[in-house]
Structure 1
Amino acid sequence: MTDPLTRAMLDTAFEPHELLTPPVDILGPATDPDAKEVLHTLGIPSWDNPWFDVDDEIGRRLEPVSEWDYELSDVYQDVPEGAENWVALGMVPYDDIAFDPATGKVYCLPQDAEIYLLNSSLRSFVYFLYLLKVDCPRMDSGDDQSEWAGYTAAEHEEIRLHICEKMSAVDPVALENPKSLWFGILTYIVDPEAHFGRG
């Protein structure tokens, strides 16, 4: 059983400016009540890290996928209905991430594969970022990594499994796809050089 995600929890992990909270007057497209609450109350984490490049504009406007410089149908064979209304969240090298404002579901739009469900809700997506921030020092680009570098391979693996178990408890659907980017990130925890092809 996991604790419900709260702003107080996020405040222990992120600085206030690292939690992007759009004003109520731009949340019209977010018709899913929980997604709207996440946007306005919890905020979307945006901090210096080696993976997530969150769209800083989300604190000021919700950019629909329809405004991207390409048509989804030109890139993907199977485009979910209503995908043009999804809202951009940012990138994970080098895939786009967006959420459906009508359902709160978060999707990955890869460069070289078909669109897939990343998280079953915007809340669980934010929860995953929180787990990575608090449990994995490698998710902080600016932090001193010397202590983390002193961990053994077995300890790295223990941390990876610990985070994976927590993620599974929060959103088991998110880890059903073996090609999900979450697994790439979990691999990075254990061995970043191997993940990026330098091992």
Structure 2
Amino acid sequence: MSGRVHRRAGSVQRLSLDGGLDSLNDRDKVRLDSILNDGKVWVPEIYKEKAEWRTPQGHIDRVRSEKVSADGYDLATAAQSARKARDDYSGTNYAAARCVGPDGQESILVAYRNKAGREDGKTTKKRHNVYVSNLRKSAQKMDQGAEVNFTVTSDDLINVYGLGAVSYFPHQGAEGVESRTADFLSSVGLPTSDIFTSRMDVEDPYGPEVDAITIGSRFDHYGLQCPDESRSWWSLGYLFTSLLALDPACGKVYAFPEGAIEYIELHRDIESLVFALIELRKVEIDHDIGADPEELATRFRECVEAFDPIAFADEESQWILSMEELEQGIW
């Protein structure tokens, strides 16, 4: 490659699970020696260079891309850490891959293309014991009452919904409630609006025999069949016409679309739901002042899907339906 005129180099940094960045150490440089040139990676620029590295259709080693959950998957987790490092949830493309060094040890490389078209690389050492150690430390801090940091803040929520439209929940320290979910609901909160109705009337419409928190009791009240595994889930409210429910044990958010028999997973956690609701409120505001509906729908999809791909993974997702209605002028 030394004789090529068209060439670019992407910087490489060490990436930690919490989004921290640092310079490569000597062991990193040895492990990545086959792809590094003076601490940087070569990036193909012209078509001829790109073609040399492209895997053609029908090649036996060509793989298909598919969306995966970030939960428990090291490549997806590394990509999310890179987004956190750059505070970038606006739709920039990220790709993660394994790199096996000459010593047989693996690293995870995360590359992204920024808006100027330039690619940079970041690397995080693939050692599961390091990841596990970090997670355990985080859990210990939570048990000790230390502050838990979220990407979505209380200020973010209040800025678009107003303080009067945000509900905060008493910290649920009871057994069976995922701690990060409890921390988020008590410190950041949950909004309510005409589109996402999370509050009930002051007058209780059910009576003492009905548990208005869990969906199993509410389904029974209306004579509806509730899947056994979801009876203990908490009702969060209605997003358009879909009932949203939270599994307090794992923190995932599910939706029961109107007229559907089964539920779908809508978000990986409560923070992702609130992130999407904030972006939805921004869409509402811009729509009211005459912004182009198709551009608003595209912006929402890219932003929310970058933060939580699960939101658009199911074709019955309320997010897909609502954005289609926005584009069609139904709003």
What is the TM-score of this pair, normalised by structure 1?
0.75
Task: Give how far 1:136 is off.
Answer: 3.0
Residue type matched to 1:189 in 2?
Answer: L
Counterpart of 2:319 in structure 1 is 182
Counterpart of 1:129 in structure 2 is 277
Equivalents in 1 of 2:258, 2:221: separation in Å? 13
Q: Structure 1's 42 and 169: CA in aligned 2 closer, same or farther, altered over 3 A?
A: same
Contact persistence 2:219–2:225 (CA under 8 A):
no
Q: Structure 1's 56 and 71: CA in aligned 2 closer, same or farther, altered over 3 A?
A: closer
Secondary structure (helix, strand or coil) at the match of 1:178 reads coil
Task: Give how far 1:53 is off.
Answer: 1.7
Q: Which runs of 5+ in 1 are unaligned?
A: 140-144
Task: Give how far 1:171 is off.
Answer: 0.5
Q: For 1:20-56, what per-residue CA distance to the aligned partner results, in whole angstroms no more than 9, with x for missing partners?
A: 10123x5637611221111101100112x3x222134
Q: Structure 1's 158 and 80: CA in aligned 2 closer, same or farther, altered over 3 A?
A: farther
Task: Give how far 1:110 is off.
Answer: 2.5
Secondary structure (helix, strand or coil) at the match of 2:237 reads strand
What is the TM-score of this pair, normalised by structure 2?
0.47
Equivalents in 2 of 1:29, 1:52: separation in Å? 29
Counterpart of 1:53 in structure 2 is 197
Structure with the largest fraction of helix: 1
Greater than 6 Å deviation, 4+ residue runs: none
Contact persistence 1:20–1:45 (CA under 8 A):
yes
Task: Give how far 1:190 is off.
Answer: 2.0
How many pairs are equivalent? 174
Residue type matched to 1:111 in 2?
Answer: E
The answer to which of 129-138 and 93-102 deviates more is 129-138
Q: For 1:65-119, what per-residue CA distance to the aligned partner results, in whole angstroms no more than 9, with x for missing partners?
A: 232142899536xx362x1110001113433211001111111123322111111
Contact persistence 1:35–1:121 (CA under 8 A):
yes
Q: Structure 1's 15 and 55: CA in aligned 2 closer, same or farther, altered over 3 A?
A: same
Counterpart of 2:215 in structure 1 is 65
Q: For 1:153-186, what per-residue CA distance to the aligned partner results, in whole angstroms no more than 9, with x for missing partners?
A: xx32111111100011110022111111111121
| 1:137-176 map, 5 Å | 137=285, 145=288, 147-148=289-290, 151=291, 155-176=292-313
Secondary structure (helix, strand or coil) at the match of 1:70 reads helix
Equivalents in 2 of 1:104, 1:62: separation in Å? 19
Counterpart of 2:165 in structure 1 is 18
Q: Which runs of 5+ in 2 are unaligned?
A: 1-82, 90-150, 202-210
RMSD: 2.8
Equivalents in 2 of 1:180, 1:167: separation in Å? 13
Q: Which residue of the other structure, out of 219, 222, 225, is the alignment partner of 1:75?
A: 225
Contact persistence 2:232–2:247 (CA under 8 A):
yes
Equivalents in 1 of 2:281, 2:155: separation in Å? 15
Residue type matched to 1:123 in 2?
Answer: E
